[in-house]
Amino acid sequence: MNERISKVRVTRGTNLGRLAAGQAVKTAGTRLSMIGRSDHARAVLAERSTMRSAEQLVTVLGNMKGVAMKLGQMLSMLDVDLIAEPYREPFREKLSALRDQAPEVPFPIMRKVIEADIGPLSKAFVDFDTVPIAAASIGQVYRATIRDGRQVAVKIQYPDIDKAVKADVQNLALFGKLMRPLWPTLGDNAIFDEIARNLETELDYLREARTQHSLARQYSGHPFISIPDSILDLCTPHVLVTEFVDGAPFEQMRALPSAERDRLGEVIYRFYIGSMFSNNEFCGDPHPGNILLAPDGKVSFIDFGLYNRMDSVNVDFERNLLRSSAEQRADDLYELCVGRGVIDPASQTSAQDFIDYVYAVAGWHLVDEEITITSEIATSALVLAIDPRSSQFGGISHQQLPPEHVFSRRADFLTLGVLGQLSATNNWHRIAREWLYGEPPTTEIGRAIAQWQKSTVPQRPRFTTSAE
């Protein structure tokens, strides 16, 4: 790195903006103080328009299925404690209405869907619990036993959900207009286009079944990660059957001692973020409901409807963006983003402004220090990403991330939200250097994974570490 970043530990706190108080704004040490910028987030979320927008949000999305739950999951990452006290509980209630809104479809109706695809239940199952164990954005999940004795999870699409999703997609533009008074850049953001594209991908259960089967084979024998296999013979366009994971839910993981939460956080970070740089593929739906702690201590990941593969050119762009940021090469970062259309050179955004903005929203894995991720950091980063309104970041609001990178940024922010709910601590940058620079792992988990890969997985070509 070009400059040595000062040794300051970032821990819990309500005022992250003052962590590096006393240091010059443009010095490397202030990179720590940029992370989150919770003061700005608090100011934005405390506005009265927040409640008006929340009311409009619930009204517009109230009758939706797939889109409402997907947006509810994303918004549930927001730390409502950032909101001023008079508005906190009403906002929490309205947010809960979105997050918990799952279509209540009686089993007789759902049974018609599954039997239309595979025939009578007795043909494939010896036991089928008719009480759903979960409600996904486009289907309900049941527990059953197949004829060979294996316990399975059966996800069945809601009747006519494909029509509902297509109708929801048409309403996304209206949602963006309603949210623009609160977050002006949201209407110009590519996030709604990304949701529209990928919601329809989630409807393809056969694609998801093949993806999950491939991942189950890829992670077979992994020391820390397990992927339940799909039962391909029983999967259809409207029914997804996978091995059942009898694991502890995320809420129980949050109650574990800090050392164990740190361990789980590293595994989650490696799976959701590291896989893009290591394998050019990643899951775009990091969410607490998709993470279980298996009895053997492994982290089990489920739900791969939003699984994406990136062209190596786009992955290299992401890698070079993070490397130039971590090395504080502001001019190189600026030119890199101008070249990809992220920054309009005619705007008022300077190279220094842009790198400061990058640190504010992604500094948690750019700073070479041990950092505890809190829900406040996650919320602040998300607010700044979609609403960089301040004297320092005002020009950023006119920039545009290319569509091929919106999906990966969504995964990045949602992973940050998951880690924030765990309050996990690590030197995230030191882990990231494995896939940014090809450096050997510095953690016990990283070394164990490297040993497993060496003994079971053909070695991948190493990428170049030359500067962009």
Average pLDDT over residues 435-444: 96
Q: In this predicted model, what pLDDT tens digit does every residue of 233-273 receive, in sequence order? A: 999 999 999 999 999 999 999 999 999 999 999 999 999 99
pTM: 0.81
Least confident among 62-71, 81-90, 242-251, 355-364: 62-71
Q: In the predicted model, is pLDDT for residue 343 greater than 60?
A: yes
* b (16+ CB within 10 A) / e for 286-300: bbbebbbbeeeebbb
Tens digits of residue pLDDT in 26-50: 333 445 555 655 555 555 545 544 5
C-alpha 100, offset from chain centre: 18
Determine the longest span between alpha carbons in the chain, in angstroms: 71
Q: How confident is the model at residue 80 (pLDDT cuts 50, 70, 90)?
A: low
Q: Is the pLDDT score of 20 beyond 50? A: no
The sign one gets for the Cα dihedral 114, 304, 185, 21 is: positive
Q: Which residues of 116-146 are buried (b: 16+ CB within 10 A; e: fewer)?
A: ebbeebeebbeebeeebebbbbbbbbbbbeb
State the pLDDT at residue 255.
96
What is the predicted pLDDT for the residue at 453?
A: 92
d(CA 420, CA 371): 11
Q: What pLDDT score was predicted for residue 398?
A: 55
- The fraction of the chain above a pLDDT of 70, given in percent, is 65
For the chain, report the end-to-end CA distance as a whole number of angstroms.
Answer: 14
pLDDT of 303 above 70: yes
- Mean pLDDT over 103-107 rounds to 80
Beta bridge partners of 241: 154
Question: What CA–CA distance (Å, rounded) separates 227 from 220?
Answer: 8
Q: Quick one: tokens of 391? A: 């004297």
Q: What are phi and psi of 129, to 5 degrees?
A: -80, 120
Q: Choose between 62 and 332: higher pLDDT.
A: 332
Average confidence (pLDDT) over 428-452: 97
Contact 78, 71 (CB under 8 A): no
- Range in 94-103, 285-294, 444-453 with the lowest mean pLDDT: 94-103
pLDDT of residue 409: 80
Given a cut of 90, whether residue 457 has pLDDT beyond it is: no
Residue type, 49: S
pLDDT at 219 over 50: yes
pLDDT band at 416 (very low <50, low <70, confident <90, very high): very high
| Mean pLDDT across the chain | 77
d(CA 255, CA 422): 9
Higher pLDDT among residues 33 and 174, named by residue: 174
| pLDDT band at residue 394 using 50, 70 and 90 as cut-offs | low
Contact between residue 78 and residue 95 where contact means Cβ atoms under 8 Å apart = yes
Task: Provide the annotated active-site residues.
Answer: 285
Q: pLDDT tens digit string along 50-61?
A: 555 555 555 544
65/104: higher pLDDT:
104
Distance CA 182, CA 178 (A): 8
pLDDT of residue 192: 64
| pLDDT tens, residue by residue, 116-171 | 999 999 999 999 999 999 877 788 999 999 999 999 999 999 998 887 777 766 66
